[in-house]
Amino acid sequence: MPPNTTATTGDTATTGATSVKSGRKKGRKARLIVLVLVLAIIGGIAYGAYWSISTVRASFPQTTGSIKLDGLSGPVDVKRDGYGIPQIYASSDEDLFMAQGYVQAQDRFYEMDVRRHMTAGRLSEMFGKSQVENDEFLRTLGWDRIAQQEYDSKLSDSTKKYLQAYAKGVNAYLQGKEGKDISLEYAALGFSNDYKPGEWTPVDSVSWLKAMAWDLRGNMQDEIDRALMTSRLGPQQIQDLYPAYPYSRNKPIVQDGRYDELTKVFQQGAGAGSTQSTAGGAGATQGTTGGTTGSSQGTTGTTGASTTTGTNPGLTSQLGGLYKVLDGLPTAVGVNGQGIGSNSWVVAGKNTITGKPLLANDPHLSASLPSVWYQMGLHCRTVSSKCQYDVTGYTFAGMPGVIIGHNARIAWGMTNSGVDVTDLYLEKVSANGYLYDGKIKPFKTREETIQVAGGKAKTIVVRQTQDGMPLLSDRDDELVQVGRKASVNSAAPDRGDGYGIALRWTALDPGTSMDAVFALDKAGGWNDFRAAAALFDVPSQNLIYASTDNHIGYTLPGKIPTRSAKDAGALPAPGWESKYRWTGFIKKDELPYEYDPDRGYIVTANQAVVDQAEYPYTLTTDWGYGTRSQRIADLIESKIKGGGKISTDDMRQMQLDNSSEIAKLLVPKLLKINLDDPEVRQAQKLLEGWDYTQDADSAAAAYFNAVWRNIVKLAFGNKLPKEVRVKGQCLWVDKIDSTGPVDDDTKVRECGQRDADQAQPDGGERWFEVVRTLMDKPDSDWWKTPRSGTRPAANNRDQLFARAMIDARWELTAKLGKDIDTWSWGRLHRLFLKNQTLGTEGPKVLQYILNRGPWKLSGGEATVNASGWNAAGGYNVVWVPSMRMVVNLADLDKSKWINLAGASGHAFNAHYTDQTGKWANGELLPWSFSGKAVDGSTSDTLVLEP
């Protein structure tokens, strides 16, 4: 049974922030005046004078008139609409991408500079000694080294030419400028160090793809968490917390089973072994017993890896230390791999009002300021062999091309596939190397020198296995000591000098993902699209497709490993046995796809790509559980079966769907529970007649989500090990030693170790499925929780639900007041946009200047309108639909889009957060594409001249 625990402190408190909203000119001018006065008071008259309004405005981009740029072969027009979104017109590819570099640098160079320093492990050069540990870890991963190898030996000549042109444009912008002329942040940094931004290089752009891949890397976090849980939970209990994917209820993406000839061979009974030289199918063959594939593989992995590497506090502490290192890294596009998702779907013309496809996409990523996305159009005045692009959409500042969007013939969207492309290995290390199949192999080593602003440089030694796996545990002194003390069972080699943890990850191999970006941008049809997707090594994304000639499709790209050991991939594997190493990669033409399915639509929302019982390779054992994807499919089906046709606005409304699937399951049970306290009963009545929608002004949604938070905390959170619980939550728990719990009733006080937005149980989709599977087991040990103060103990499901309703009532009383008429979900569920450097770590005054919010949001976890929050840490929003778009393939000028923030990265610029209010309200902006439409929406025109 789950270990007995008693809570001694509550959750960490959440704090508010000053609301700073962008507005009209008058409001902006007022804020600038306040800014100058505040800084003058704090720093003295001379300091305040330096921070004049002219200083704040110095970095704003020139958007009208003309600018001469050396290197252009002809004039380039940059047309911006009322939201500052640029559309670039040129007559050659090189001019187009050079102008893109110049324009992005105008709006976002500080962001670009921080990103390239992050990917290269050089943040200490900008921010000093506080970033040394991050740099050490990032240097160990070696993203920029891999990017350099890609540039030198993998990328096509045309891609290199475009990267060079882009870098030339960025450097043309930087030429002759001081830091304060580039960004307000540089002006602030100028008071603490003499940092000067250097020239941009093509490799700086390529490196950013590694950062994107890192935050979308698959199940590495689940791998760590499962291993950490072994210190408190047994195999069956861990299996309870990672239930089977519900194939019978939530359909996978690919339903017509198109995997080329591979499927035919597999279904004819040849089996996985005969269709591949690798053994990735071992898990799939083992799991072909119906709809429990994901669970059976995950369970096997849990049990197998536990018995191989041992359930021991040494390994647990080492993984906990590794998590601390991972958690300290700056996020690129996600929440360090946790909790993020996305929606995309495409509807065939036979089911739309226009008679042509409609395509929607809204990637769910960390909320940041500026937004991770940058909207723009790249247009050749005449498409020809000299100038091949006419594309618009979303890209990243610092990268040429467009990542998600459409050209004149096709549109595409992306969601994270979640396939397992990372494995952790416990390595037996010694003074001479590491053990591998009974022999000691020497590590490959290299030295890395980290320059530190205002401090001494630091040199580190990076160790890698012969097959290129970096030893992550070298980056933490505590991990080294733990590795020397780690206890393992008799199946493992003698401890000797200790154990380390190494990482195998597809993105540590040079690839061609940058080639894929340009190939997608100019793809003219399905075959071009599939060929472009095949170049997309990492991150592996679900790619959906629609075309103006009335076709829809889906393909899974990526470099996806195969494994021989049936339990590999679920937990850290024994590195001293070769059978746990990767054996190859799934062939590109054996990856799943669909084209024009009979049902007339395709939905991807992080659910299972395929039914693993019908596919011979194990893609992952850690899919999302399909809550959002099935809700989207149901909304589409209800419209079609009702005889209706789907419009662009229908697609927008689906993106805003706030329905809570877990509420539909739990509320009928909650309403049947008798409660004695009239004030708790009063809160319970909020749920009567509630339609399960989580609108910002809903009191019922506020109370239900508080009840849900307390259910998962009482049933699961208080029984998890400290390494995964939230900081500030301390419990008295059973003492454990190397053999497990001590049977003498000895209790020890343990406090959680994770940040609020990363802790477990996060209350997300997996926990929905955990609770669903336990609903028919009302006497399960999971439902038992001890008395705490005046709160009653619970011995079954309904008693725990009653306790959760009581706790929720008084939690919201403390947060929102005793009068339930004043409660609303939006008062709890708030979005704060923070500058990701000085806005989080800088002086309070700078945080005030750079950050914005709060906004009160609708939506929630595993809802189509997915404004994610972490139940272990509080109700504030931690990830969001980072953008929304709906592409109309019948008339591309009737497409719609919106960004989380704005085009500009300059605080107090009119376009810093000018889209956020509309985004929060679920509005979409017009998205001009044709020359006529762009001209009609243009507010400012800048001509770049040779």
Name the token pair of 926.
């017009």
d(CA 307, CA 409): 54
Q: What percent of the chain has pLDDT over 90?
A: 66
pLDDT of residue 211: 81
**Beta bridge partner(s), residue 943:** 66, 77
Average the pLDDT over each of 35-44, 734-743, 789-798, 877-886 and give the range with the smallest value.
Answer: 35-44
d(CA 330, CA 143): 14
d(CA 776, CA 425): 38
pLDDT of residue 302: 33
Residue with tokens 């087991």: 777
Count of residues for the chain?
Answer: 946
Which residues, in sequence order, are CB contacts of 106 under 8 Å at separation 6+?
61, 62, 173
Per the model's pLDDT, the better-predicted residue between 41 and 437 turns out to be 437
pLDDT bucket at 288, cuts 50 / 70 / 90? very low
Query: What one-character DSSP code corresponds to residue 15?
Result: -
101, pLDDT greater than 80 = yes
User: Regarding beta strands 358-366 and 877-881, do their DSSP bridges make them parallel or antiparallel, or are they unpaired?
Assistant: antiparallel
Q: What percent of the chain has pLDDT over 70?
A: 80
pLDDT of residue 346: 98
d(CA 510, CA 556): 20
Residue with tokens 């891999």: 146
Mean pLDDT value across residues 597-618: 94
User: Regarding beta strands 747-751 and 730-734, do their DSSP bridges make them parallel or antiparallel, or are they unpaired?
Assistant: antiparallel
Residue with tokens 């090189």: 94
Mean pLDDT value across residues 391-414: 97
Q: What is the 3-state secondary structure (H, E, C) of 20-44?
A: ECCCCHHHHHHHHHHHHHHHHHHHC
Segment 162-182, tens digit of pLDDT: 999 999 999 999 999 998 899
Cβ atoms within 10 Å, residue 582: 18
Helices (H) and strands (E) in the chain, counts: 33, 35
Segment 837-869, tens digit of pLDDT: 787 777 788 888 899 999 999 999 999 999 999
Average the pLDDT over each of 220-234, 520-534, 620-634 and give the range with the smallest value.
Answer: 220-234
Segment 644-653, tens digit of pLDDT: 999 999 999 9
pLDDT of residue 748: 86
Segment 725-759, tens digit of pLDDT: 999 889 888 776 655 566 667 788 889 988 888 89
d(CA 529, CA 545): 8
d(CA 26, CA 43): 26
46, pLDDT greater than 60 = no
Task: Give the H or E element holding residue 935.
Answer: helix 931-937
24, pLDDT greater than 70 = no
Most confident of 128-137, 349-358, 615-624: 349-358
Segment 174-203, tens digit of pLDDT: 999 998 899 988 888 876 677 889 999 999
> Could you report how far apart the first and last alpha carbons of the chain are, in Å?
74
Mean pLDDT value across residues 323-346: 65
Average the pLDDT over each of 84-88, 537-541, 568-572 and give the range with the smallest value.
Answer: 568-572
pLDDT of residue 19: 35
d(CA 726, CA 737): 23
Mean pLDDT value across residues 407-434: 91
Mean pLDDT value across residues 227-246: 90
pLDDT of residue 337: 42
Segment 880-925, tens digit of pLDDT: 999 999 999 999 999 999 999 999 999 999 999 999 999 999 999 9
Q: What are phi and psi of 890, to 5 degrees?
A: -80, -35
pLDDT bucket at 688, cuts 50 / 70 / 90? very high
Q: Of 701, 732, 729, nearest to 713 (Cα)?
A: 729
Average pLDDT, the chain: 85
Residue 873: what residue type?
Answer: G
